[in-house]
Amino acid sequence: EIDMSDLSSTEHPHLPSDVCNYEHQITGYGNLLPHKIGDDPLGQFLYSPSERCVYKPVQEAPKGPREVNFYEAVFGLRKDEPPFDPQQRHQVQQLSALRCFLSSFLGVHQHPVTGKLYIRLSDLLDGFARPSIIDIKMGARRHEPDCSGETKERPDRYAYRQQTGFFVTGMRLWRQECHGYELHGKRYGREVTPSNMQTAVLQPLLSTAPAQHRVFLVKQLLAGLESLQRWFETQRMYHFYASSILLGVESCPQRDPDVLVCMVDFTHVVPVPDNQPDTGYLLGLGNLIGICCECERELLPAQRDSSQVVDVFHPLNN
């Protein structure tokens, strides 16, 4: 595995000169600050309009190198791998199946002024006109078992993580009526409980889309989550901590319906030492799939009356 010294000592291509703030970032520091090439705000995702690519800052070791390692493993970019035995070949095939759920990894680039490193990724939202997104941190615990003592001792501010298997960390919801975005953060997520998660997680996202599109959208979200669940049920390579699923929908009434089901944030992905499934992630996936199924059940009666579109989901009350 590469470490921070390996990354820093390697020559990397510079960031393109047209990078700016990535407007769709919904979590992380600095996402509301202006940016130009000489600045270096902490945690800010950058975007190149000419390349249509996103640049994510590489965090300090061990988190940053761990994330780069994971992307290189998934996209088959390891330069020093030994010849594969049958088990390794199977693992490579399993990992490659994740590519459809990830931004394409396009290497590591460097800030020409500060020297800071960035992971170059394809823009997941390229092609969306008005994307609405929810960021859901997956798993029944917020950190890996061998993390620092300080992190372990810090209390978890989300009381229901072991029951839900996820934590909503942010929403960016397009509201056609006011022609702008409605933002929600971790404070909203802490109010999601096992008793209200059926209405508090997916319904706000679906309420941004035209009513006639919602059955299609929820079916597509469900299909993506079930496909990801099948992968997690068989893989024994990694456990994913503090890793997110992004769920998104096209909210523009003039566009065809479209969805996003994507995994992001791999700074706390660790190899499995004991061949055990990632039960925490699977718990969260199972609950999200259940929420999708419930939304579909609520929407189908409205769709059957083809003479009238019934809006069964409503925007959040602020």
- Picking from 167, 150, 148, the residue whose alpha carbon sits closest to that of residue 158 is 167
Whole-number Å distance between alpha carbons of 170 and 192: 12
Q: Supply the pLDDT for residue 307.
A: 46
Q: pLDDT, tens digit, for every residue of 131-178?
A: 999 999 999 998 888 777 667 768 899 999 999 999 999 999 999 999
Which secondary-structure segment (H or E) carries 171? strand 166-175
Tokens of 124: 């997941």
What are 233's two structure tokens? 């049920």
Task: List the chain domain ranges.
Answer: 1-123, 124-300
Distance of CA 210 to the CA centre of its chain: 24
The pLDDT score that the predictor gives to residue 90 is: 86
pLDDT of residue 39: 45
The pLDDT of residue 88 is 82
Task: Copy the structure tokens of residue 26.
Answer: 């919904």
Question: Closest Cα partner for 133 from 201, 186, 87?
Answer: 201
Q: Which two tokens stand for residue 311?
A: 């809006």
CA–CA gap between residue 217 and residue 96 (Å, rounded): 26
Q: Which CATH architecture has domain 124-300?
A: 2-Layer Sandwich (3.30)
Single pTM value for the model: 0.90
Say if CB 240 and CB 205 are below 8 A apart.
Answer: no
User: pLDDT by residue for the chain (318 residues), tens digit each?
Assistant: 655 667 877 889 999 999 999 988 876 433 333 334 444 455 689 999 999 999 999 999 999 999 999 999 999 866 556 656 888 888 889 999 999 999 999 999 999 999 999 999 999 999 999 999 999 999 999 888 877 766 776 889 999 999 999 999 999 999 999 999 999 999 999 999 999 999 999 999 999 999 999 999 999 999 999 999 999 999 999 999 999 999 999 999 999 999 999 999 999 999 997 889 999 999 999 999 999 999 999 998 766 554 444 466 667 765
| Residue 98 CB-half CA count within 13 A | 25
Residue 36 has a pLDDT of 41
Q: What is the Cα–Cα distance from 236 to 256, expressed in whole angstroms?
A: 38
Tokens 């989901």 appear where? 313
99-124 burial string, b = 16+ CB within 10 Å, else e?
eebbbebbebbbbeeeeebbbbbebb
pLDDT of res. 33: 34
Q: Are 250 and 176 in contact (CB under 8 A)?
A: no
Cβ neighbours of residue 178 closer than 8 Å, sequence gap 6 or more: none
User: Could you give the C-alpha distances from 164 to 137, 220, 230, 284, in angstroms and in order?
Assistant: 11, 22, 19, 6
The residue whose two tokens read 């372990």 is 152
For residue 235, which phi and psi values (nearest 5 degrees)? -80, 140
Cα–Cα dist 75/90, whole Å: 14
